[in-house]
């Protein structure tokens, strides 16, 4: 159902190198070096996230999403194609 929270997710901290997201008592780090589209985003834009499925985070104002699997196992999801 659109607009219904699937799971609790919150940004817990933002620093100059990235930010942390708490999802179901598990914290994940999102580094700006690996996700540069967040680097120039406003704090409000970063805080405005939703879980649109049990495995996907979405930032509407930034029009970007991250699969939870990519945060859990970043080595399995290289962001640069070789």
CATH number, residue 40: 3.30.2020
**82 domain-assigned:** no
Tokens of residue 41, six digits: 């985003």
Tens of pLDDT along 34-56?
Answer: 899 899 999 999 999 999 998 99
pTM of the model: 0.81
Does 54 map to a domain?
yes
Whether the pLDDT of residue 21 is over 70: the answer is: yes
* Number of domains making up the chain: 1
Can you give the pLDDT at residue 79? 61
Q: Is residue 42 part of a domain?
A: yes
Strand pairing partners for 72? none
Q: What pLDDT does residue 82 have?
A: 55
Domain assignment present for residue 81? The answer is no
Give the residue-averaged pLDDT of 19-32. Answer: 94
Inside any domain, residue 2: no
Structural domain of residue 45, as residue ranges? Answer: 9-76
């Amino acid at each position: 159902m659109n607009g219904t929270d699937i799971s609790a997710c919150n940004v817990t901290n933002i620093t100059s190198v990235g930010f942390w997201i708490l999802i179901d008592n598990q914290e994940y780090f999102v580094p700006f070096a690996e996700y540069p589209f967040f680097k120039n985003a406003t704090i409000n834009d970063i805080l405005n996230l939703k879980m649109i499925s049990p495995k996907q985070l979405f930032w509407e104002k930034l029009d970007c999403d991250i699969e939870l699997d990519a945060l859990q196992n970043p080595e399995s999801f290289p962001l640069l194609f070789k």
